[in-house]
Amino acid sequence: MVHGVWLSPAALLFSASSRLPVAVSLKIFREEAGTATSLRVGSRLDKYRILRRLGEGGFATVYSAQDLVEDRKVALKIPDSRYVTNTQSLDDMQREVRIMARMEHPSVLPLKDARFINGHFVIVFPLGEETLADRLTRRLSRAAAMDYAVQMISAVAYAHEQSVLHRDIKPDNFILFPDQVIRLTDFGLARIEKGDHEISGSGTLGYCAPEQAMGKPTYRSDVFSLGLVIYRLFSGDVPEYPFDKLPSFNKLRRGLSKDFVDLIRKAIEPTPSKRFRDAVAMHNAMTKIRYPLTDRSVSLRGAAVTDAYTRRIA
């Protein structure tokens, strides 16, 4: 609410004329938000009624909720109140929301709402079925895995095209939706790539590139993490971490074409300079592989893959 007018997340964070960030800080809204109310199943936060807790991390709790106006289920990401009162944490939350507000791609989870409600900072997303990490606990066909791989590469390529460095690509941060749709989420560690980085480790052990763990992340670091997710998708496992040489590719499922295995191999090269320079280059390489499975049951026609990458959501 600004001068009596409610603004959507995108309108709040960007100037409509120039699309440049406006000088609005979450600190202003935090001061007006008041004391945080207790949250439990059945609680209401404006038009959202909490249905159940989906998960909890060190920073925030995710709930499923019913949007009582639109009559649909959504996911609410609500940071712990102790972080909401911290200036640095508020800056981090604002950066995450601003990055997500600029992302419009079918394989990136869209931001629906972001504001203070009853003292809580509430970030709202569409509600998916489960995470990729959950799905990997059950058998997955090669064709379905390939469908997911194409969409994941497309999502990260789009992020890199928008100068967004994700820094935490892992199975838990891909959400599955009906009709074999998968979407990249959780931009809490993401940064706009400017060539300068704080010297501190970030990311998730097991999926974090060696140079990123040393505080020097680049687009190649995201490629490494994405490559490991795809490696697990087709092998059922992740190479022992950290590794100084390429893992054995014998664990990859039979039936993958040599070109596709080479793509995975290049993505997870321990030496950054030997990887794809970014996910856009990785995506371009993917468009050149017509048959990623040896039985040719899946055809990745270049135009079809490119359409999936360039298609935008209004």
Region of 4 please: left (phi>0), alpha (psi -120 to 50) or beta. left
Q: What angle do CA 228, 233, 235 make, to 5 degrees?
A: 85
Burial of residue 301, with CB atoms counted within 10 A of its CB: 0-12 exposed, 13-18 middle, 19 or more buried = exposed
Structure token digits, residue 305:
């893959």
77 annotated ligand binder: yes
Structure token digits, residue 139:
């058998």
Query: Please, where are the H alpha helices in the chain?
Result: 9-13, 26-33, 81-84, 87-101, 132-135, 142-161, 210-213, 219-235, 258-267, 279-287, 302-310
How far apart are alpha carbons 136 and 145 in whole angstroms? Answer: 10
**SS3 call for 155:** helix
Is-cis flag, bond preceding 242, omega within 30?
A: yes
Q: How many other C-beta atoms are found inside a 10 Å radius of the C-beta of residue 78?
A: 21
CA dihedral 253, 160, 24, 64 (to 10 degrees): -20
Q: Which residue has the tokens 């944490």?
A: 89
Binding residues for ATP, as ranges, are: 77
Binding residues, as ranges, are: 77
